[in-house]
A and B are shown apart, each in its own frame.
Chain A
């Protein structure tokens, strides 16, 4: 996987993870271009598109788009699986996750992603193990403030 982007229906970036070294300028350009392309697609269209020499796999959960770029030989379906797995992890961690959870605790969203993927490859396929690692790491951390919730959960409206 080359990179993963999360953005809202309004095109606001919520999370970005790059597994290839690119300059900030290039990253911004790619983000802008992809957000536009993906948002322009109709809801009934398939989740894959060819873009430059990469394949883009995206999926919408409630108001958030999860968008991954993979290489030519990579498997699209397993990438969808990865996206879904990540959403499940977020959901388990936050307890019916919503967009606001990711906005206000965006560092947590990154920590979970980093336990799940490393260098663009899935490092742990067991959900239990990922969550265990995160919980244990959290134990080392000081208590974080209570979470605010008021939005539609992501996961119910798949």
Chain B
């Protein structure tokens, strides 16, 4: 035997430790996987040893391998073994391994509950520390439920080291077990004023995290945090508090007003960039929430913008980035203050850091106005040209389009310019965004009627120069624009100067190399063009041109008929046959133009992308209901023949649509128009912005002559610049004219009041170059106006939305009208089991200062107040603080007590009315010591539990709960939490639970899903009381 031990320990000398493993892996770079698999085999051997040191070493190595990506879940039980070691060295390693390897699905976590509870109450603070740290990583809903009470107790531990950890981990517990928030909250709040700065900052952290998710429940803490903010000097804490205020102010604007001053002071005084940044962000958030009716805060905005400018000008890339980020927040509400820094933002476009350039781009998006749009886009176009790397260039491209198209093309005064920009963008090589450009072209051409003539001319040029775009079709997404070009030319072909030429361009053999969907559009629109050509030559007898066109189609279309793409092939062969037929008619000199045009008559209206989604479901329509009963799946073989021979049922239903005549249709249309006019949700065709153009008269607006000084046909030449120049000239001219008029007016008004100089051009002064009608997209009738913002139902923070100002139902409340409000809670004392702790919160409800309070407790046989040493048996206990009006605070009393009882307490309050006079009031009340206060959550293993039940010492009783409809695990959680039980075992529909009183009485429960509880206890009176209390708890819900 001895020899075996010696041999064993010699073997151990050759075990690898972690360093050896790491070294080994580094030395086996070539066959790492093989080396590690032998190591894992060794580890498996080591784990079989009884020696805990060997096991811990093995677990330590496994933790390292886990980081390298190897699966170590098979060793979960060994990790629990190492965690349970009594030696700190090994415990520490065990908990580390657990926190790295365990997750919610790890089933051995169930086994750890009791071990963790033991470690939490260990006299060694470092045992408690590692347990808390580990728990923070792998806490599950079950662990949270079972340990919430223990951790709550630790929040009032004597050592700040434990307190701060306990406070921080409570946040994780709340997330997993939201029911614990309400009872824990008073204690958490109290920790905000903990003497230890670490604990205080932990409490601030937790409340800040909670409040960020559900701010409205924490508004009442604002005064306390305000006090902390003005007194604290710890930047870490300040940042959190300021962030918290940022979350609160949107709910309480008055708070915002109060905050501005201390925040601006901090902005001026602090040297810490992180704090400065947080302050600026919160000031911005505050100002956003105050944005209406607060004219006096332009100074604060100016201050923020100034500080941000300093950040952006800094050489530190990080500050530059954050400065731009914060600037974009200001932009949303105070665009004017940011716009004056346009130069700086444009400079950032030249930065070598791409992420900074992208931020600057984001800012530019919000900075454009009618006045500067062209100029900004021009700058961006320059950047597009010199940008290296396609990703950034593509980003620029999308941004240009975003900037121009934002809010329904609000800032575009000259659509010819915009079309030219789009055409220029098509020359970008290798961009992925051909589709985007194409959709813009379509959008503008469809919705801006006045621009169609120009757009069609440009598109015709594009089609003519298609070879420039299709240089490399494989990776060139730009050919998508040809799709748009072909469609626009076809649809609005009446604007084409030379449709024949365009038609010819669309039928070139090279087209067959384009992607299928584009070819299909080409073919279809060639037919439209064909109709236009015919119409143009309508009336000319034996028109040569018309016949030539037919011949052209007949010659070229067969190429498409052979296309591999079904769509192309089908369209081409249809149209080919049509044209052949028309040709026949033409040869007989039949007038065909009108009929062919009729094929493509009518105008397409733009439909909003969300239109379909917004069609309200008519009343009485159930989309989920079956129209026909689904065939039953159990249909057996011999039933089938029956169905075959079944008589067909007579059908009476006829299509409803057939009988609607023209008149009826017209009537309905009228009714619908009426409805639309009265429906506030229906978006009408005339936009409500400054641009109200008389919609019905669109056709009569003369389309401005295309300025032929702009060279349309030179594809390589950027044209948008010319528009910029023209635009500037135009504006100057307009301005001059306006000034002239003004002068005239002034002259007329001479002698009257002097008008101030009109100053720089304001937004409204810029008139668009064209009278344009931007057609709004159609929406269905009765469309709902807003999108419902669907919140994630799985968000864990949702469950924490608990109104904490409501009375805590689990504590008892006493209210002495006008003077004092008392909340108290009684719990067994973990350190000394013969005592219970009464935590009391006093709130001064009166208007006077509460100078002092004295507790007088009438000791009884069963309970005794724990008095300071040396005090007499009847001395009163002075509460060690004073209470200003409206404030509350917390105190502890220790009471030695042994059974359920009622303790009579009398409080002497000395209220101070003024400096001299004071009154004295005596308040009597009783503390009800419930049984639950005497129960202590105690783990129990199932074998011990079985033995206990078998012993026969226990008396039984049972209880039925009526009207409970909550999930079983919630029910269990409630019993655990409110009555200090722990679950011993849960099998399907029932669970056994255990708890112990401070005097050592056992209480066992068997809870069934039928909500009946069988209970056994060795003290019958205790049992009866516990059951009564459980019944009470559930009657409240």
A91 to B212, CA, bound (A): 34
Which secondary structure characterizes the binding site on chain A? mixed
CB distance from A88 to the nearest CB of B (A): 15
A36 located at the interface, meaning its Cβ lies under 8 Å from any Cβ of chain B in the complex = no
A137 to B126, CA, bound (A): 6
Is the Cβ of B165 less than 8 Å from the Cβ of A118? yes
Stretch with Cβ within 8 A of A (4 or more), from B67-75, B700-708, B765-773: B67-75
Taking CB as reference atom, which chain A residue is nearest B134?
A: A114
Taking CB as reference atom, which chain A residue is nearest B73?
A: A24
A133 to B132, CA, bound (A): 14
Taking CB as reference atom, which chain B residue is nearest A120?
A: B136
A48 to B274, CA, bound (A): 14
List B residues 75-119 near A (Cβ within 8 Å). 88-89, 92-93, 96, 99-100, 103-105
CB distance from A141 to the nearest CB of B (A): 4
- Scan B118-151; emit 1 where CB is below 8 A from any A CB, else 0: 0000001010011011001100000000000000
Q: Which residues of B contact A106 (CB under 8 A)?
A: 18, 64, 67
Is the Cβ of B165 less than 8 Å from the Cβ of A107? no
Q: Which residues of B contact A110 (CB under 8 A)?
A: 96, 100
Is the Cβ of A137 less than 8 Å from the Cβ of B320? no
Is the Cβ of A28 less than 8 Å from the Cβ of B317? no
CB distance from B67 to the nearest CB of A (A): 6
Is the Cβ of B89 less than 8 Å from the Cβ of A142? yes
A124 located at the interface, meaning its Cβ lies under 8 Å from any Cβ of chain B in the complex = yes
A126 located at the interface, meaning its Cβ lies under 8 Å from any Cβ of chain B in the complex = yes
- Scan A49-92; emit 1 where CB is below 8 A from any B CB, else 0: 10000000000000000000000010111101100000000000
A14 to B126, CA, bound (A): 26
Q: CB within 8 A of B198: which of A81, A103, A123, A136?
A: A123
Is the Cβ of A46 less than 8 Å from the Cβ of B355? yes
- Scan A9-48; emit 1 where CB is below 8 A from any B CB, else 0: 0000111101101111000100000000000001011111
A19 to B137, CA, bound (A): 6
Is the Cβ of A23 less than 8 Å from the Cβ of B318? no
A122 to B105, CA, bound (A): 27
Q: Which residues of A contact B19 (CB under 8 A)?
A: 104, 145, 148
Q: Which residues of A contact B68 (CB under 8 A)?
A: 13
Interface residues on A, range: 35 or more
Q: CB within 8 A of B318: which of A22, A76, A118, A145?
A: A76
List A residues 103-121 near B (Cβ within 8 Å). 103-104, 106-107, 110-111, 114-115, 118-119, 121
Given A118-B136, A136-B126; A44-B317 close (CB under 8 Å):
yes
A77 to B236, CA, bound (A): 11
Taking CB as reference atom, which chain B residue is nearest A110?
A: B96
Is the Cβ of B354 less than 8 Å from the Cβ of A107? no
Given A106-B67, A125-B234, A125-B236; A114-B243 close (CB under 8 Å):
no
B172 located at the interface, meaning its Cβ lies under 8 Å from any Cβ of chain A in the complex = yes
CB distance from A108 to the nearest CB of B (A): 10
Is the Cβ of B169 less than 8 Å from the Cβ of A118? yes
Q: Which residues of B contact A140 (CB under 8 A)?
A: 88-89, 124, 126
A139 to B354, CA, bound (A): 49
Q: CB within 8 A of B96: which of A21, A28, A107?
A: A107
Q: Which residues of A contact B273 (CB under 8 A)?
A: 77
Is the Cβ of B274 less than 8 Å from the Cβ of A77? yes
Q: CB within 8 A of A24: which of B103, B278, B354?
A: B103
Q: Which residues of A contact B124 (CB under 8 A)?
A: 140
Is the Cβ of B205 less than 8 Å from the Cβ of A121? yes
Q: CB within 8 A of A78: which of B132, B201, B239, B246?
A: B239
Q: CB within 8 A of A118: which of B17, B132, B322, B356?
A: B132
Is the Cβ of A48 less than 8 Å from the Cβ of B96? no
Q: Which residues of A contact B356 (CB under 8 A)?
A: 46
CB distance from A70 to the nearest CB of B (A): 12
CB distance from B524 to the nearest CB of A (A): 42
Is the Cβ of B126 less than 8 Å from the Cβ of A48? no
A14 to B64, CA, bound (A): 9
CB distance from B406 to the nearest CB of A (A): 21
Query: What is the interface size of chain B, counting residues whose CB is below 8 A from a CB of the partner?
Result: 66
Is the Cβ of B69 less than 8 Å from the Cβ of A28? yes
Given A125-B198, A125-B236, A141-B92; A44-B168 close (CB under 8 Å):
no
Is the Cβ of B129 less than 8 Å from the Cβ of A137? yes
Q: Which residues of B contact A136 (CB under 8 A)?
A: 126
Is the Cβ of A103 less than 8 Å from the Cβ of B236? no
Given A44-B352, A46-B320, A141-B88; A73-B60 close (CB under 8 Å):
no
Q: CB within 8 A of A81: which of B22, B63, B274?
A: B274
Taking CB as reference atom, which chain B residue is nearest A41?
A: B355
Is the Cβ of B277 less than 8 Å from the Cβ of A77? yes
Q: Which residues of A contact B364 (CB under 8 A)?
A: none
Q: Which residues of A contact B93 (CB under 8 A)?
A: 107
B443 located at the interface, meaning its Cβ lies under 8 Å from any Cβ of chain A in the complex = no
Q: Which residues of A contact B103 (CB under 8 A)?
A: 21-24
Q: Which residues of A contact B104 (CB under 8 A)?
A: 21
Is the Cβ of B136 less than 8 Å from the Cβ of A46? no
Is the Cβ of A137 less than 8 Å from the Cβ of B278? no
Is the Cβ of A75 less than 8 Å from the Cβ of B169? no
A78 to B103, CA, bound (A): 29
Is the Cβ of B353 less than 8 Å from the Cβ of A48? no
Is the Cβ of B63 less than 8 Å from the Cβ of A107? yes
A103 to B64, CA, bound (A): 9
B164 located at the interface, meaning its Cβ lies under 8 Å from any Cβ of chain A in the complex = yes
Is the Cβ of B277 less than 8 Å from the Cβ of A118? no
Q: Which residues of A contact B274 (CB under 8 A)?
A: 75, 77-78, 80-81
Q: CB within 8 A of B169: which of A21, A115, A119?
A: A119
Q: Which residues of B contact A119 (CB under 8 A)?
A: 136, 168-169, 171-172
Is the Cβ of B202 less than 8 Å from the Cβ of A73? no
Is the Cβ of A45 less than 8 Å from the Cβ of B236? no
Q: Which residues of B contact A45 (CB under 8 A)?
A: 317, 353-355
Q: CB within 8 A of A121: which of B73, B105, B168?
A: B168
Q: Which residues of A contact B234 (CB under 8 A)?
A: 125
Q: Which residues of B contact A49 (CB under 8 A)?
A: 355
Q: Which residues of B contact A122 (CB under 8 A)?
A: 201, 205, 236
CB distance from B579 to the nearest CB of A (A): 54
Q: CB within 8 A of B243: which of A73, A145, A148?
A: A73
Top 9 nearest A-B pairs by Cβ distance? A77-B274, A46-B317, A46-B321, A119-B136, A140-B88, A141-B89, A78-B274, A114-B133, A121-B205
9 contacts between A and B (CB under 8 A): A22-B103, A46-B355, A80-B274, A106-B18, A107-B60, A123-B164, A129-B198, A141-B88, A141-B92
B residues lining the A interface (CB < 8 Å):
17-19, 22, 60, 63-64, 67-69, 71, 73, 88-89, 92-93, 96, 99-100, 103-105, 124, 126, 129-130, 132-133, 136-137, 161, 164-165, 168-169, 171-172, 197-198, 201-202, 205-206, 209, 212, 234-236, 239, 243, 246-247, 273-274, 277-278, 317-318, 320-322, 352-356
**13 more CB-based (< 8 A) A-B contacts, given A44-B353, A46-B320, A111-B96:** A18-B137, A45-B355, A46-B318, A73-B243, A75-B277, A77-B277, A77-B322, A107-B96, A114-B96, A122-B236, A124-B164, A125-B234, A137-B92
